[in-house]
Amino acid sequence: MPENSAPENATAYDVVIAGAGPNGLMLACELALAGVRPLVLERLTGPTDEQRANGLVGQIVRMLDRRGLYQRLTGGQEPPRPAPGYTFGAFPLDLSSLPDNPVYLLTVPQRRIEQMLAERAGELGVEIRRGHEVTGLAQDADTVAIEISGPDGRYPIETRYLVGADGGRSTVRGLAGIGFPGVTTDRGISRMAHVSVPAELIDPATGGLVVPGYGVIPPFLHHRTETGMIAFAPFPGRPTAISTAEVRAPGTEDEANRGPMSFAELRDSIRRVLGVDVAVEPPQGPGPHLLRRLVGGNTRLADRYREGRVLLVGDAAHVHSAIGGPGLNLGLQDAINLGWKLAAELSGWAPAGLLDSYQTERRPVGERVTMHTQAQSVLVGPGSEVTALRQLFGELLADPHTVAHLADLLAGADIRYDMGSTANADSLTGRWAPDLSLHTETGTVRLAELTHGARPLLLDLTDDGALGEDALPWRDRVDVVRARADDAKVTALLLRPDCYVAWASRSARLDEREREALRSALARWFGEPATP
């Protein structure tokens, strides 16, 4: 359906999503895949040119592959590969020797992600109204009545659920009365800009920035000094960017009231951080070019993700420092976790408590991200105390187990959801499902190719291939695939639509106890079996 349309009599929707950023659009796609009719409202009249995220970090890269969306962003057919290295608090992490490296990277501007998701939503029949925003709501046990302000004035809509994906200053969160506790600081000042760098200042070996009188600033890493932090990002095919971060001394001028940032201000900041001048110039050619100052920061987490029929995803539920780039990994996975659960509720087969498990599972993940971004912000700060802390932290990084722990933390791979299984549950239960090469009756496929439709999946690798009988009462909700896998350590996997393992087995032939555990998992996550 075309954007901005408002068809006659279209006053009732299954779900209304406030916000057409990546998180809101991802949720809309997930709902549409499940047969739910969402409406997306966006306050802005069109996509913004504002420079935001520069890429994706963590499990969301693999999750996009599981929906067939990764290849849309890369333009190729290859699956994602783990990154050989990354950074934590301006410490480089060598990930090349990790036996199971969870850190995946995709360098792509946020506006391209939004464009791709909007295109996909359009293919799935999602209606997006730009220039429309939620201004009021009232809910009862069955519906949410929404007041909307659009280009032609105010109008009402009724929906069964309202989802706030409208950012850190979420109107929906405020109207629903959901608290947003946390901390706000005003000491930090970040500056970022697109720059033109002379060719002689680019290190041919590393691609880093050569600073005469100082040394080489490695590319794409935070570089901390005693007076601040600097990052140099020569993105292929896009303008090179430099960013700095400093701590404002008490009693100094309020930077927020100085007016628009100038390029000279960036040069001055670079000089203070490095102690020398760097010969960078404003970029040439058409813009828009990035030139921005940010003063202060927020770390906040909604006290609940659900209030009746109103739910929150993404920045509406949590805000934090951008260090390490965790925002879209967190927010998009919120949307994917919520999408299938909300669709199950609307379709009538959701077991009791399924929708509440969205908060139970995702709010602790938000807590982990706010924790590690605060920790990293401390590690890149100025001062001799931080230098001492970094010396100790650097010693701890000599242990490969510490590196692996940080990699899991950064990727969001340290999460294990409670699947309600017994103490003898397989170690994969509650974890992200590994990608497998599967030999089926129609050919060889990757597990990722079987999850494009966002449906529950029972993967039967047993010798007798008889698990389909156990899943037969759930055949309207759960796909069953029989296959062989040369490299699999398991013989059966039950996957939720978000690709987390609800149940697993390593037995070539399941006994009755294991089959009963499978049926229990099917009922717990996908509702009661259908009656014949």
Dmax (CA) of the chain? 79
pLDDT of residue 287: 74
N-terminal to C-terminal alpha carbon distance within the chain: 38
pLDDT of residue 54: 80
DSSP 315-329: GGTEE---TTS-HHH
pLDDT of residue 8: 44
Residue 189's SS3 state is strand
Strands 479-482 and 457-460: parallel
- Evaluate the omega torsion of the peptide bond into residue 151 and state whether it is cis, within 30 degrees of 0: no
Residue (of 454, 456, 457, 461) closest to 440 by Cα position: 461
Amino acid at 373: T
Residue 341's SS3 state is helix
Amino acid at 46: G
Q: Which two tokens stand for residue 285?
A: 């050619």
pLDDT of residue 1: 44
**58 dihedral zone (left: phi>0; alpha: psi -120 to 50; beta):** left
What gap in Å lies between CA 208 and CA 94, rounded to an integer? 18
Q: Which two tokens stand for residue 503?
A: 């149940």
What gap in Å lies between CA 86 and CA 106, rounded to an integer? 12
Which residues are registered as beta bridge partners of 481?
A: 459
Taking CA 269 as the corner, what is the angle to CA 264 and CA 273, rounded to the nearest 5 degrees?
150
Amino acid at 18: A
10-residue stretch averages of pLDDT, the chain, 532 residues long: 47 92 98 97 85 86 98 95 95 94 94 96 97 97 96 96 98 98 90 94 94 94 92 88 86 67 94 95 85 91 98 98 93 99 97 98 98 95 93 97 98 94 80 94 95 98 90 96 90 97 93 93 95 72
Residue 133's SS3 state is strand
Amino acid at 329: N
